[in-house]
Structure 1
């Protein structure tokens, strides 16, 4: 175990400006946002801030009836918070590892539980996988993000990206799937022969099948989602 004097501890752990722009990894598990305007973040992810920043929960009708209806179906998993102002904002989510993506007029799907923050220039929409909502604990939903700007996603431990090609589809455990490219539309398949081996938290025999051309990001961990209480 490392032992420091207070002076050494402060020196070894203090915040440092890296000059990387709006989104900056202060540590692998702590995101610093050099805010000058507005960003969206996962509700409850704020750890600390300095400066003149106001926080506001996403308005019920802010994005129209369609998104409100989808939010009702998916519970609180995609609750978002707006941060407005000028200062430094620090975000984290249960010690998960953070990856920063710079979308350049591209689209990506992110598991609703793994979306940490994104710029206001990015358009987004909730996609509920209704076909399996009753089969998986709490259902399964994701957020489609599109445009130009920064997106921060989280994963338990190190993420792994698998390339999907037309002649080589990729199968994943839904609870270990973090994100995938915006042009892919996964389908759900069941194979009872895999029941003993796959997906302890995901209905055991359900897998996501990705076909076409793109990529899928997985994590070495199964997240178990709980259905919202009515």
Structure 2
């Protein structure tokens, strides 16, 4: 199918790997995630230009400020990230923490803050955000222990603590890793432990989205490991019960 402004979906998936934002005003946008747009849209750097009041009210993460811009105007904006799965989510008076690299864009009704967990950002308030994942995202309830590489984020529950399986570490495989340094750690040795009320967001693979310098061209990034074409076309924005929590940059564990 060949798209033009009238045939593009409004605030919905074009396919499992691209999302169309019907921009009427402003959105916060991570650099390198907009692949095309129709209409009159301007892009302003965080901390520069005429939108300092908007940034002061909704953006509170100086560590990540250089990775973001404000898209302002009227038009249709196409978002994607290296053919990874992309979806939008609604947050209602919620608190969501998410890997910083997975968060593509969000409405100014949401305030972005740095999480106390390195590599994660927190969205607070009401509005829509768009996020990418390596495979489909699943929502589970605590108490649960999660492989760090499968973790996308968590909503309305306390930040996780680290859990180490010392029995496994003292076994044969753990001994080999301690002596040789080969193999790293796995979800069977080290997990994030969640307790309390809320939801935990998991991607359907233990392979993190590979790191890529902001704004670099697609051939410089990694090849996605998950995703099945055509399984989410026309999907409605998920309505999550209660408040929802976030997603953010990968934790190189």
Please indicate, yes or no, whether the TM-score normalized by the shorter chain is above 0.5.
yes
Higher strand share: 1
Aligned pair 1:49/2:37, yes or no?
yes
Aligned residues: 192
Kindly report the root-mean-square deviation, in angstroms, between the aligned alpha carbons of the 2 structures. 3.1
Aligned counterparts, 1:1-230, within 5 A: 12-14=1-3, 16-18=7-9, 20=10, 23-59=11-47, 63=56, 67-68=61-62, 71=63, 79-129=67-117, 140-164=118-142, 169-194=143-168, 203-204=185-186, 205-219=189-203, 220-223=205-208
The TM-score, its normalising length taken from structure 1, stands at 0.72
Cα distance between partner residues in 1 of 2:209 and 2:33: 19
Higher RCO (CA 8 Å, separation ≥ 6 residues): 2
Q: 1:175 to 1:58 in 2, by over 3 A?
A: farther
Cα deviation digits, residues 115-171 of structure 1 (max 9, x gap): 111101111101142xxxxxxxxxx4211111111111111111122121xxxx211
The TM-score, its normalising length taken from structure 2, stands at 0.66
Cα distance between partner residues in 1 of 2:82 and 2:168: 30
Alignment check: 8 A CA contact 1:201 1:222 kept:
no
Moved more, 55-64 or 172-181: 55-64
How far 1:225 sits from its partner (Å)? 6.6
What is aligned with 2:218?
none
